[in-house]
Amino acid sequence: MDLAYTAGEERFRSELRAWLTSVLPGLPEKPAHTDWPGRRSYDCHWQKLLFDHGYAGVDWPAVGGGRGASPIEQLIFKEECERIGAPYVGVGFVGLLHAGPTVIAEGNEAQKARFLPPILKGEEVWCQGFSEPGSGSDLASLRTKAVRDGEDYVITGSKIWTSHAEVADFCELLVRTGDEDSRHRGISWLIMPMDLPGIEIRPLKTIGGSTEFAELFLDEVRVPIANRVGEENDGWRVTMTTLSFERGTGFVGELLESMRLLRTLVDLARRTGAWGDPDMRRRLGLLTAQFDALWALTKRNVSEAARDGVPGIGGTVFKLAYSEQGQSLTELAMDLLDVAGLSLEPLKTSSGEALHNDELTEAWIKSISLTIAAGTSQVQRNILSERVLGLPKEPSAGKR
Ligand SMILES: Cc1cc2nc3c(=O)[nH]c(=O)nc-3n(C[C@H](O)[C@H](O)[C@H](O)COP(=O)(O)OP(=O)(O)OC[C@H]3O[C@@H](n4cnc5c(N)ncnc54)[C@H](O)[C@@H]3O)c2cc1C
């Protein structure tokens, strides 16, 4: 194994760095985190800039219209974007990080031609309609029903926790096409346009004050059968592909963001005198070592995805470890900030330097959801124990 960067990789890095340095000052002002139409146009504008300069879909294969970059180049891309503070995918999360990759892996040629280019160009935004009020961890129990009628499925049911639904054009939707008790054998994966008659979107406000996600109510919504990805009743297999992208490589950008926050914390500890506390130094040291280990695991996951088309089981380990470490990180931030952590308004130290309490406190609020979103930690542990360690299945699993 050669761990040094090649001349080509160094060139990729320096060209990207030069482009990012030139383009970032010209970006419009960031919208408020509660302004979803504003966030959509900001994120899509950034995506269009990436597309116009050949950096859209760096981690997509060339066959899907992406850059087809090597795993190392993909990581360099993320490192450089994070280093300079470039915008994150934002509302493009579902389309770019798991719906698009699923269409590449499982869609037919017509679906690839219709749906992939607008995702890469930042023209269309996707959301994820998997969870239902009674079906989160136990996703295979979902009840939203799709019945064939001519060229369409007629869909009735409801979804919940649908992130970015109010600004999305399409939804990766799981529906029951089999019998009521068919569980994972009776699910299909559909592409649902979000402007169809019969769709009602009711935004839900989070503890952070923003309507980050919504409830979806579907009343006899007609989705063309041609929008089904994979075979009828084979949607569970397609869903595993989606989840392997979501859990495997979807959070890499967020990992780098957490590593940046950790550096902010170390700097803050040094500036505020907290560094003199051996326990604080021990906790910071431990987190640094844990995040370094996760970065190494990320490299493995990205290489695996590049080789096999989808990330392997390392994605489940990554999701579990990242979400729990992310929470330790922000809890440490709260300990360090003490009462300053009560304010979301930016405060300064006695010497007039930024305390970063606004971003750290926001990160803490957000981190509470990390161990729930994209599958809870308990469920990730079940998957690891059954599929990696070969332990017996849960006693109730046979009944499901
Ligand atoms: C920020 C955020 C964004 C989200 N975005 C989306 C989205 O865009 N689209 C979407 O479809 N969903 C989304 N979700 C939903 C998410 O996938 C579910 O919340 C998650 O799968 C858990 O399901 P649940 O909320 O129904 O909890 P439940 O499944 O009811 O779980 C409740 C508790 O029971 C535990 N539990 C359940 N089953 C087991 C078991 N077998 N063994 C041990 N413990 C168990 C869980 O770990 C949890 O602690 C989002 C969630 C969050 C927090």
Q: How confident is the model at residue 3 (pLDDT cuts 50, 70, 90)?
A: low
- Predicted confidence (pLDDT) per residue in 210-239, tens digit: 999 999 999 999 999 999 999 999 999 999
- Whole-model pTM: value is 0.94
pLDDT band at 2 (very low <50, low <70, confident <90, very high): low
C-alpha angle with apex 98: 93 to 99, nearest 5 degrees?
Answer: 95
Do the beta carbons of residue 238 and residue 102 sit within 8 Å? yes
User: Per-residue pLDDT for 154 more than 70?
Assistant: yes
Mean pLDDT of 77-106: 94
pLDDT at 44 over 80: yes
| 378: amino acid identity, one letter | Q
* Ligand 1 atom nearest residue 375's Cα: 21
**pLDDT at residue 208 tops 90:** no
Q: Report how far ligand 1's centroid is from the alpha carbon of 51 (Å).
A: 34
Of 137, 211, 218, 320, the one to substitute when testing ligand 1's pocket (max ligand atoms within 8 A of C-beta) is 137
- % of the chain at pLDDT higher than 70: 98
Q: What is the pLDDT of residue 207?
A: 86
Report the atom number in ligand 1 closest to the C-alpha of 94.
8
Report d(CA 238, CA 53) in Å as an integer.
32
The pLDDT value recorded for residue 298 is 87
Ligand 1 center–CA 136 separation, angstroms:
5
Predicted local distance difference test score (pLDDT) of residue 399: 47
Give the residue from 183, 169, 71, 190 showing the smallest Cα distance to 126: 169
CA-nearest residue, atom 18 of ligand 1: 136
| Distance between CA atoms of residues 104 and 244, nearest Å | 14
Q: How far is the CA of 137 from the centre of ligand 1 (A)?
A: 5
Residue 4 has pLDDT above 80, yes or no: no
More confident residue, 247 or 360: 360
Q: Is the pLDDT of residue 161 over 90?
A: yes
Distance CA 118, CA 191 (A): 14
What is the model's pLDDT at position 266?
A: 96
Choose the catalytic residue: 80, 124, 246, 304: 246
Report the nearest-CA residue for atom 26 of ligand 1: 136
pLDDT level of residue 33 (50, 70, 90 thresholds): confident
Q: Which residue's CA is minimally distant from atom 37 of ligand 1?
A: 137
Choosing from 94, 98, 130, 131 the residue with most ligand 1 atoms within 8 A of its CB, the one to mutate for a pocket test is: 131
If you measure from the C-alpha of residue 41 to the centroid of ligand 1, how many angstroms do you get, rounded to a whole number?
A: 29
Beta-sheet pairing, 213-224 with 170-176: unpaired
**How far, in Å, is the centroid of ligand 1 from the Cα of 85?**
31
Residue 246 known to be catalytic? yes
pLDDT band at 275 (very low <50, low <70, confident <90, very high): very high
Mean pLDDT for all residues in the chain? 93
Cα torsion angle, 58, 99, 206, 372, sign? negative
pLDDT digits (tens, 9 = 90+) for 118-142: 999 999 999 999 999 999 999 999 9
Residues 353-386, buried b or exposed e (16+ Cβ, 10 A)?
Answer: eebbbebbbebbebbebbbebbbebebbebbeee
For the CA of 163, the closest atom of ligand 1 is 8
Which of these ranges, 67-76, 177-186, 196-205, 335-344, has the smallest mean pLDDT?
A: 67-76
Once rounded to an integer, what is the mean pLDDT over residues 330-339? 96
Ligand 1, CB cutoff 6 Å, lining residues: 127-131, 136-137, 161-163, 213, 369, 372-376, 378-379, 382, 394
